[in-house]
């Protein structure tokens, strides 16, 4: 395949480190699509004859059928997917196969194939994110008023609703989806026709091949076209952030499943047992999702390190861009599917959550707000009075709502019996009516908004 410059085969070690067909065979579909578009353009521009194009397209279609049937003969001797396809095309249609590589290099070919693959991965991931958001919405809607504790520092802070808590993840995954959509928009330009690095002397039409492959246009600089992998880095960065958000939700599922919390139940479908402890029901799916973030962040870091010191344009280092990216998106897609399944499967223990929602003096802020709102006390002074009330309740081993009115009035004489209307978790939640707050009406409004967005 190297022509007249080389007279002997590479050493076995060179072959071992150089060959990539073992992993870049995943680019077969993209490689064939690029070749078909390129052949059609060459014929239209008169670079190859119409007869040659028909022969080439027939051969490519035959290879596509072999790929689909699993009979394509992948061979290490041809190094990568591009040369495997070209060698097989020559076997099927003869010397005319050599015309396909006119005005094209493996440099722009691999840049195209990889860009197409990452673009498709972004599309798949975005669809899965939206499916997960749908599962969260479906679970949040019947629990828009189901009480649970809200936490800061993993300590009870203020009462919220389970629906509101789930809707926080809808927002987070919505931003993840927008990052993938933005990344896709920026990567949607074609490198095909940049050739090795300097462009082509043939009268090619790069806009035509870009359009045929669903791009918004060709990349405007041939050096950049073959050398950049920032599209993959951006997709991996978006994937890493998404995996972090998945890991946070997975961690909460793990915590909520513990007997100490007991907030949710997962069925046998998403849990496993122990080989020695028959009582165990482990949230292994959530734990594995939590762990997958390492693969995403590792792939981003690996590719960033590969690219950071490379001069323009192509270097063989870039062959290391694919394995990590493939594995990262495999992990992300599996994690998104598993999380959507767990969200649909889990059932909250509303009684346990409601009990916890009132613990830890979670309505203390409501007391302070009442003092400000009803008595006109400056918030810092109200904060001091409330702190003293919390200390009093803590000393007596009761909740704020259980303190006698006289005890509260000993701290602030103007307190009236109306204070007890705000000291229950339900009253606290109902009062949080500001936009984006946890009142059930606000939660239902956000659910409706997201239903419209996703539809």
Residue 190 carries which DSSP code?
A: B
Q: What is the model's pLDDT at position 5?
A: 60
How far is residue 400 from each of residues 21, 153, 380, 418, measured CA to CA in Å?
A: 68, 21, 19, 14
Strand-pairing partners, residue 161, are: 147
Residue 225's alpha-carbon distances to 1, 216, 219, 222, 367, in angstroms, are: 24, 14, 6, 5, 62
Q: 368 pLDDT exceeds 90?
A: yes
| 1 pLDDT above the threshold of 60 | no
What pLDDT digit, counting tens, does each position of 59-96 carry?
Answer: 999 999 999 999 999 999 898 999 999 999 999 999 99
Mean pLDDT score across all residues of the chain: 94
Number of helices and strands in the chain (H, E): 18, 4
Work out the percent of the chain whose per-residue pLDDT is above 70. 98
Per-residue pLDDT of 230-265, as tens digits, reads: 999 999 999 999 999 999 999 999 999 999 999 999
**Residues known to be catalytic:** 153, 274
Cα distances from 119 to residues 31, 183, 290, 325, in angstroms, run 14, 9, 25, 12
Q: How confident is the model at residue 21 (pLDDT cuts 50, 70, 90)?
A: confident
Predicted confidence at residue 342, as pLDDT, reads 97
Provide mean pLDDT across the span 211-225.
Answer: 98
Give the model's pLDDT for residue 7.
Answer: 62
Q: Residue 4: pLDDT band by 50, 70, 90 thresholds? A: low
Concatenated DSSP letters of 33-93:
HHHHHHHHHHHHTTSS-HHHHHHHHHHHHHHHHHHHHT-----GGG-SHHHHHHHHHHHHH
Mean per-residue pLDDT, 101-120: 97
Read off the pLDDT band of 6 (50, 70, 90).
Answer: low
DSSP H or E stretch at residue 157: strand 155-161
From the CB of residue 186, how many other CB atoms can be counted at a distance below 10 Å? 12
Q: Is the pLDDT of residue 3 over 60?
A: no
The 10s digit of each residue's pLDDT in 409-441 is 999 999 999 999 889 999 999 999 999 999 999
pLDDT, tens digit, 9 for 90 and up, residues 168-195? 999 999 999 999 999 999 999 999 999 9
Beta carbons within 8 Å of 219's beta carbon, 6+ residues apart = 189, 190, 191, 194, 225
What's residue 455's pLDDT? 93
pLDDT at 36 over 80: yes
User: How big is the chain, counted in residues?
Assistant: 455
Determine contact, residues 187/219, Cβ cutoff 8 Å. no
pLDDT the model gives residue 440: 97
Question: Residues 357, 438: contact at Cβ < 8 Å?
Answer: no
- Chain segment 257-316, per-residue pLDDT in tens: 999 999 999 999 999 888 888 888 899 999 999 999 999 999 999 999 999 999 999 999
pLDDT (0 to 100) of residue 275: 82
Instruction: Please say if the pLDDT value at position 13 is more than 80.
Output: no
213 has pLDDT over 70: yes
* pLDDT the model gives residue 11: 72
Lowest mean pLDDT among 76-85, 135-144, 189-198, 330-339: 76-85
DSSP-derived 3-state class of residue 226:
helix
Q: What is the pTM of this model?
A: 0.92
Q: How many CA atoms lie within 13 A of 390 on its CB side?
A: 16
């Amino acid at each position: 395949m190297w022509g007249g410059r080389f007279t002997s085969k590479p050493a076995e070690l060179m072959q071992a480190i150089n060959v990539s067909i073992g992993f870049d065979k995943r680019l077969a579909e993209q490689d064939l699509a690029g070749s078909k578009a390129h052949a059609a353009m060459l014929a239209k521009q008169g670079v190859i004859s119409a007869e040659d194009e028909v022969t080439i397209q027939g051969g490519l279609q035959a290879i596509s059928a072999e790929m689909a049937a699993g009979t394509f003969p992948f061979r290490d001797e041809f190094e990568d997917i591009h040369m495997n396809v070209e060698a097989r095309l020559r076997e099927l249609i003869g010397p005319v196969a050599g015309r396909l590589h006119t005005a094209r290099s493996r440099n722009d070919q691999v840049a195209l194939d990889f860009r197409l693959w990452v673009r498709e991965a972004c599309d798949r991931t975005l669809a899965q994110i939206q499916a997960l958001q749908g599962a969260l919405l479906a679970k949040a809607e019947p629990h828009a008023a189901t009480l649970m504790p809200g936490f800061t520092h993993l300590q009870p802070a203020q009462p919220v609703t389970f629906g509101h808590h789930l809707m926080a993840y809808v927002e987070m995954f919505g931003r993840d989806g927008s990052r993938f959509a933005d990344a896709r928009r920026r990567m949607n330009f074609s490198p095909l026709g940049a050739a090795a690095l300097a462009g082509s002397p043939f009268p090619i039409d790069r806009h035509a091949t870009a359009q045929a492959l669903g791009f918004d246009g060709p990349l405007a600089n041939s050096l950049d076209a073959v050398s950049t992998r920032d599209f993959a880095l951006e997709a991996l960065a978006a994937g890493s952030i998404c995996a972090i958000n998945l890991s946070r939700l997975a961690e909460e599922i793990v915590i909520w499943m513990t007997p100490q919390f007991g907030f949710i139940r997962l069925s046998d479908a998403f849990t496993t047992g122990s080989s020695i402890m028959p009582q165990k029901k482990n949230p292994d799916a959530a734990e594995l999702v939590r762990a997958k973030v390492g693969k995403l962040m590792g792939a981003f870091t690996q590719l960033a390190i590969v690219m950071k010191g490379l001069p323009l344009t192509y270097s063989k280092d870039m062959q290391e861009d694919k394995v990590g990216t493939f594995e990262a998106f495999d992990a992300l897609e599996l994690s998104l599917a598993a999380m959507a399944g767990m969200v649909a499967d889990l059932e909250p223990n509303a009684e346990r959550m409601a009990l916890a929602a009132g613990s830890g003096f979670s309505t203390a802020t409501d007391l302070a707000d009442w003092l400000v709102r009803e008595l006109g006390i400056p918030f810092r002074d109200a904060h001091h009075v409330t702190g003293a009330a919390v200390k009093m309740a803590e000393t007596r081993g009761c909740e704020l709502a259980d303190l006698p009115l006289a005890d509260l009035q000993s701290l602030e004489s103007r307190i009236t019996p109306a204070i007890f209307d705000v000291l229950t978790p339900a009253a606290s939640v109902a009062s949080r009516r500001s936009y984006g707050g946890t009142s059930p009406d606000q939660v239902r409004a956000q659910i409706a908004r997201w239903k419209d967005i996703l539809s």
